[in-house]
Amino acid sequence: MKKNNFNLLLKIIDIHLKKLKEKPSKNDIILHLRIGDAILNYDNKTDKFTYKINYATKFENIKKNLHIFKNKNVIIFYGNHQNNINLKPTEIYLDKIRDLFRKNNIIFKEHNSGNPDEDFLYMTNSYYFVKSGGGYSNLISKIVKHKNNVVYDIS
């Protein structure tokens, strides 16, 4: 993205941010999950997922990096904009993340508004952001870093 386009985007975000009813607190960590087309399959026998390369945040990596979620309020952002795909692996993936957090006493809530513009505004104001793959999450990461906040790439 060109520098002048990035600066314009930052100005637009600042204008629209005032309209948000709620913003992340300093104790919130935003976990952005690319689901749907990014979670291709789940093998019950091996307890392993198959992922679309460079898009999904692997469950195994979330498990390995639980320390970043401890003593934070985790807000899990996800949504699916794809049709005609098998959502069963995604449902299992989300259930496994929920179970993992519950078993480790990590407080979380899910955010699935269906409004990617409001979600974008909210996530760009994260103090702690865990990115997934894809351009949407990469752009959010760039803005979070620009604001001198923390981005984790555990994909």
Yes or no: domain 3-152 corresponds to CATH 3.40.50: yes
pLDDT at 96: 98
> Could you tell me the two tokens for 38?
């990014």
The pLDDT of residue 112: 78
Query: What's the burial of 9, exposed, middle or buried (CB within 10 Å: 0-12/13-18/19+)?
Result: middle
| Cα 36 from chain centre | 13
pLDDT at residue 81, as a whole number: 63
Alpha helix segments (H runs only) across the chain: 3-17, 59-64, 88-103, 116-124, 135-146
pLDDT per residue, tens digit, the chain (155 aa), is 556 699 999 999 999 888 888 899 999 999 999 998 899 999 999 999 999 888 999 999 999 999 999 999 999 999 776 666 778 999 999 999 999 999 999 999 999 777 889 999 999 999 999 999 889 999 999 999 999 999 999 98
What lies within 8 Å, CB to CB, of 83 at 6+ separation is none
pTM: 0.92
Domains of the chain: which residue ranges?
3-152
Q: So what's the pLDDT on residue 73?
A: 98
pLDDT at 3: 61
* pLDDT score at 2: 59
CA atoms within 13 A on the CB side of 79: 14
